[in-house]
Amino acid sequence: MMKWKVLSSENISKHRYFTARKDVCEMSDGKIVEAYYVVEIPESVCAMAITENGKVILVKQYRHPVDEILIELPGGFIDKGEDPQTAIERELLEETGYEFSQVNLIGKVAGNPGVLSGYTHLFLASGGRKVASQSLDANEEIDILLTPVEEVRAMLQRNEFPQALHVSCLLYAFQKLDEG
């Protein structure tokens, strides 16, 4: 099996947060795929962030595409030219007001690689101290929930985190914590 050859690519829509494009591709056996639609999104970051008091910082916010208020992990898009480590440290400070003594990369996952480009970099942060107020984007309303680690594990087991990329982060983070 080989990568497909892109014969042409046309942007259908271009926006700050995504680009939709239509590619015409040639498969390794020579078959032509007349229209393969791709949504390009920026890479993103999220973290299971634990305070120095042993509480996990969860964020509660309205998510318009699914029309629900969700409990999630803090995170967001990586800015152009920014590395993932810097991005998660910035996002944690902006969304929660916390800084962390340790921030470790624990994984990298693709949300839906059949349609979406971009990866999400997953982190485990620990030793969090409140150092500032939230500094939210104009379209963000975020409530902070400080939750015991074992309660977060129970919430995960009860399927209370609908954000699939955050579930991946939680699973990897708990695996890392359990390893010691």
- Tens-level pLDDT at each residue, the chain (180 residues): 789 999 999 999 998 888 999 999 999 999 999 999 999 999 999 999 999 999 999 999 999 889 999 999 999 999 999 999 999 999 999 999 999 999 999 999 999 999 999 999 999 999 999 999 999 888 889 999 999 999 999 999 999 999 999 999 999 999 999 997
| pTM score | 0.92
- The domains located in the chain, with CATH, are 5-40 (no CATH), 44-179 (3.90.79.10)
User: 3-class DSSP state for residue 54?
Assistant: coil
Q: What is the dihedral of CA 76, 82, 84, 90, to 10 degrees?
A: -50
User: 3-class DSSP state for residue 15?
Assistant: coil
